[in-house]
Chains A and B, each alone.
Chain A
Amino acid sequence: MPFAIPKTIYTGKIKEVVLGRGPKAITVGGETSYPFHLFEGEMPHPPRIALEVYDTPPDNWAEAALEPYRDVIGDPVAWAKKAAEVYGADLIALQLISTDPNGLNAPSDQATETAKKVAAAVEIPVIVNGSGSPDKDAELLRKVAEACDGMNLVISPVVEENYKQIGAGAIAYKHTVAANSPIDINLAKQLNILLGNLGVPDRQVIVDPTTGGLGYGIEYTYSVMERDRMAALTQQDERLQFPIICNMAKEVWKTKEAKAKTEDAPLLGDAARRGIIMEAMTATLLLLAGADVLVMRHPEAVRLVREMIKDFSA
């Protein structure tokens, strides 16, 4: 009798979600097996990578991360174009950090204007991230949704505290929401249910399970994503069958290991190389756990991850 490799039986499928519009729109999701288990099922759409664009010059980035963008920092439109055209991003992840109430606390109208310009300047899909303050985001992201009517942005993060306001905007102006919950499969599912009850169509929802950086709690994210996919694919848990986005760059690049200068931590080796590898490793782990979209920072790390995706998909 010939040997048969034991296979997992899948009963579910991840929903397909279209991001952006026009010829450069992309589709994510659609998996019928665990990540890269191509011998068991399909992964019709490869994982996609977004590059970050900050709406205001970041003040604490590592040298290595700043290097590729030095000429465009302070000009989000030029930055987005460079990320798209020079570094080949699949999506732009615009981080509206200027609006952070604990930071610059810029008015949301101003940030909305930036979002509108960036979204108009590139053809690829755009993720618009608020600062993470539920109240401010409720106001900001609703305005962004309205200003960018019909552009099918990814509006992020949508949390339990503001899903009603932002969700309503996403329904009215046809955007996709990134449902963000604090590393817990039940909370993730609850938010998906609430969004569904509100009337946000399933094809406009992706899940952001909250990401930790390598060495900084990534195992929690990994477990939650793994369980999410198990429930979605093998237990017919329909409210978890959504693509996953990991907003990971900011987590990786704030760690000591990614940021410390070579001369300050000689034992850790070359700073630039170190940060890039930290980012690529984090990305790899998240892809293996089931990520459909990664938000990354360094073009070299992106190159490494793309190579990995290619190898796994071959």
Chain B
Amino acid sequence: MGQHKVTFHPSDRHIFVDEGENLLQAAMEAGIHINASCGGNATCGKCKVKIAGGAVASPMHTELSEAEYADGYRLACLSTVTGDVDVEIPLESQVDKSVLALKGDRLAAPYLLSPKDIFQLVQGWDIDPTVFKRYVELAPPTLNDNVSDLTRLTHAVHKQHGINGISSDFRVIMKLSRLLRKADWKVTVTLVQTRKGYKLINVEPGDNRHQNYSIVVDIGTTTIFGQILNLNDCKVAACPDGTCDGATLFALAEASDYNPQISYGEDVITRIVYSQKPGGLKKMQETVVASINGVIDELLKMSRIDRSLVSHLVVAGNTTMTQLLLGIDPKYIREAPYVPTANLIPPVRAVHLGINVGDHVHVYLFPLVASYVGGDIVAGILGSGIFQREALTLYMDIGTNGEIVIGNKDWLASVSCSAGPAFEGAGIKFGMRATRGAIEEVSINPHTCEPMILTIGRAKPIGICGSGLIDAVAELLEAGIIDQKGKFHQNLPTKRVRKREDGYEYVLAYQNETRIQDDIVLTEIDIENLIRTKGSIYAGCKVLLDSVGLGFKDLEQIIIAGGFGRHLDLEKAIFIGLLPEIDARKFIFVGNGSLLGARLLSFSRELLKETERIALMMTNLELSNHAGFMDEFMAAMFLPHTDASAFPGVQERLRARREAA
């Protein structure tokens, strides 16, 4: 696919995009504001631009008169780039050149990060799944050759595939004799590698090798994500329209749901407290399993894969979520000195936990480090490849609990801070997960305060996800609509800032532009929650770095994981002080870090040992009794930060904006 140059006038900013890129998306990436309030759904008609020259494919629309169309006017959201193109931004969308000049140059550094996958991040691993299938043809028994059916089978596997020392699951033996005869002695065996050797966990009639699937699940405090993987070619299998490779993985290859335990408490502490009530632990275990089953059902439905073909399940979760899933009393996680029950948990039969898959399926759980640093973070370190690199790396998993790790292949240190679920859309009035209809990118015109919003799937907006929140708050701040404390200025020349019973709010989309029966707004309380979340994460990083005698400038790489959306706009995340102001090229975004590691572990059994090494190597620093954390937290509860010298670029832009105003 060719790259095309898209130039925007009158600012003369340009960007290179792939053939077929949407013009509105291209503008957003170039940092060019075009009014758009329907999410790119071609209903608001505000994103009118003039094509001064070059090639776009763009249909007629009721918002355009024939004369306008003939004159070169098009709706940006309906236009796809097919060659180099010159675009004129209409007056009502224009932003001063001086203001634009303050924004980061998106040609020089990649600011809009898309998630990288294991194929790009981790080196030197072979596709060699822990759970694999082999086809065998057996010679039927005779009076002379009358060894037992099971011995016949294991001998055949040994002879035909060189696999030795196989132990068998009792359930396989139960059904073996009839199955072998019915299948005319031609069967597919499913084997799993364990610490003690190979275990035969399933036998299917005929050659069924091409159908070998694994499900990976991330149990977050707020959100549960699942993906179904095709273990034969190691791809995510649940795309409704074909397979997704590593690069487009994030598209729709997964199913997710809010963790239903939320109704018993939003954070791990309240859930541990609930689990101490009579019947509480059982209740918590059942709810999370019900939700996992829901996600699995959806995955199977989306991928049209039969339940019996799933042979492996990998689960990563924080320590509390892992213990609650297993029904292990989490009481002592909460009490000083904060000790989990076990670090390494052996594979558990899925059906024993109530998970609705074949009874041969075992659940592999990522090992835990400490009470507040769990398998999810171990998975992230594995999947992002930190464990094999020299470069000093900071890994940030931005979830309900912000988990932060620093180190490289030789050493790892971690902290965990209670960040809150804002980036996952919880605790935000119109917050939602990063699914279809979620506002994922926002730009705001500083003169008119009019927004430009893009939604996932370019559908009419339903709510806003984490990446949209980061954008919105950064843009509100830069446009001078909120102050550095996140409070709205009053008496602005716009109807979009208004006072309601919950205080001030900004209207991102009016009801008639949305798919819900309401205006989509961002309230002062939402912004407060976001500031608290980002403050906690930044403070956690700062304390962790301080305690190992390092600063942000010493880092060679920062890897960001989190479920805020399909992309992360680095410039905006830095602008609000979620991320430190350092060279943009040092950042890597990986999306959901737990799933990343879980996929890798499903695909490659060699990494089992690495996983355990990571868990044992990591030193955890407890923040709950750390004297400096609260202070750093208060300092970070400001946009971008109380210590202006840590964000000189942002400071300069804010100063210039104030002077321009």
Contact = CB atoms under 8 A, between A and B. Distances in A.
Nearest to A188: B642
A199 B654 CA distance: 14
Contact of A193 (B484, B489, B631, B634): B484
B490 A164 contact: yes
A160 B654 CA distance: 19
Given A160-B485, A164-B489, A164-B490, A193 B644 contact: yes
A184 B642 CA distance: 12
Contacts of A190: 484-485, 637-638, 642
Contacts of A186: 631, 634-635, 637-638, 642
Interface in A233-273: 239
A189 B644 CA distance: 10
Contacts, number: 32
A106 interface: no
- B: contact size bracket: 10 to 19
Nearest to B490: A164
A239 B638 contact: no
A190 B484 CA distance: 8
B658 interface: yes
B642 A194 contact: no
Contacts of A160: 485, 487
A187 B654 CA distance: 20
Interface in A169-206: 184-187, 189-190, 193-194, 197
Contacts of A184: 634
B527 to A, nearest CB: 14
A189 B642 contact: yes
Interface residues of A, number: 12
Interface string B629-661: 001001101100010100000000010001000
A189 B638 CA distance: 10
B483 interface: yes
A197 B483 contact: yes
A240 to B, nearest CB: 10
Contacts of A185: 631
Nearest to A196: B658
A207 to B, nearest CB: 14
A193 B637 CA distance: 13
A194 B477 CA distance: 13
A185 B631 CA distance: 9
Interface string B469-485: 00000000000000111
Contacts of A187: 634
Interface in B148-199: none
Nearest to B654: A197
A189 B631 CA distance: 13
A197 B642 contact: no
Nearest to A187: B634
Contact of A194 (B483, B631, B634, B644): B483
A160 B489 CA distance: 13
A135 B405 CA distance: 44
A193 B483 CA distance: 10
A75 B635 CA distance: 45
Contacts of B642: 186, 189-190, 193
A163 to B, nearest CB: 9
B489 A194 contact: no
Contacts of B484: 190, 193-194, 197
Contact of A239 (B485, B644, B654, B658): B644
Interface of B: 483-485, 487, 489-490, 631, 634-635, 637-638, 642, 644, 654, 658
Given A190-B485, A190-B638, A239-B644, 13 more contacts: A160-B485, A184-B634, A186-B637, A186-B638, A186-B642, A189-B642, A190-B484, A190-B637, A190-B642, A194-B484, A194-B485, A197-B484, A197-B658
7 contacts: A160-B485, A185-B631, A186-B635, A186-B642, A193-B638, A193-B644, A197-B654
